[in-house]
Amino acid sequence: MIEEKNGAVLLLSGPSGCGKSTLLKEVYKEISDYYFSISTTTRAPREGEVDGIDYFFVSKKEFLDDIKEGFFLEWAEVHGNYYGTSLKPIKKALALGKLVIFDIDVQGHEIVRKKISRQVTSVFITTPSLEVLENRLRSRNTDENDVIEKRLKNAKTEIKYFQKYDYFIVNDDLQIASKQLIAIANVCRIKAALFDNDKLIKDWYN
């Protein structure tokens, strides 16, 4: 009998305000063995931040050493501090057969695709229209007007990349969109490319 629990990557992109975090909460209710990818940084923790939950906090030396060893999917220096997505916890989670979830922008999607393409299933999520997105951003009352305008500008660029993704979800009705994302999260773990070809054939014959 063939039984193989495969680690897989579910990569989500979409404009800020499209509801990715809300949809993921619904996914988490249905899927227990997941790992949400968090960034690694050299900056000091802020009040209330927890290592391994908000970020992985490391020294500058450790970060630079890991860059040299090729342990980052992507990284950048911002205001003197380094930020990046470490491959270490991702590879560990995949080895344990977990679903690794990324919430990443369109540029990050391109990088992840190049480095671990075989394991990636990607989903672009957006609102029914730019107008709906703007209404959602303004109704949250969490951002200044200039921040909202910047996010809307970014959204106009990001939407142009949606056909580079495997799936496309319009988050108009939360119940429908969450069911779609849960279905994708389940099916991405049985992609043929994830299975060990030689081992599967050997087990099948036996």
CATH code of the domain in which 161 resides: 3.40.50.300
Do 164 and 107 share a structural domain?
A: yes
Looking at 96, 116, 143, which one is the last position of a domain? 96
Same-domain pairing of 117 and 92 = no
Phi, psi angle pair for 141, to nearest 5°:
55, 40
Indicate if 71 and 154 belong to the same structural domain: no
pLDDT for residue 2 is more than 70: no
DSSP E strands in the chain: the ranges are 8-13, 34-36, 40-41, 56-57, 72-78, 81-86, 99-103, 120-126, 167-170
Task: Pick the closest to residue 7 from 92, 87, 94 (CA basis).
Answer: 94
* Same domain assignment for residues 113 and 162: yes
pLDDT classification of 5: cutoffs 50, 70, 90? low
Specify the pTM: 0.83
CATH number at residue 61: 3.30.63.10
SS3 call for 57? strand
Query: Is 103 found in the same domain as 1?
Result: yes
Parent domain of 81:
38-96
Name the token pair of 153.
């500008």
Biggest CA pair distance of the chain: 64
Count the domains in the chain. Answer: 2
CB atoms within 10 A of CB 54: 14
How do residues 7-41 score in pLDDT, each as one tens digit?
899 999 999 899 998 999 999 999 889 999 998 99
pLDDT over threshold 80, residue 67: yes
Looking at the structure, do residues 177 and 203 belong to the same domain, yes or no? yes
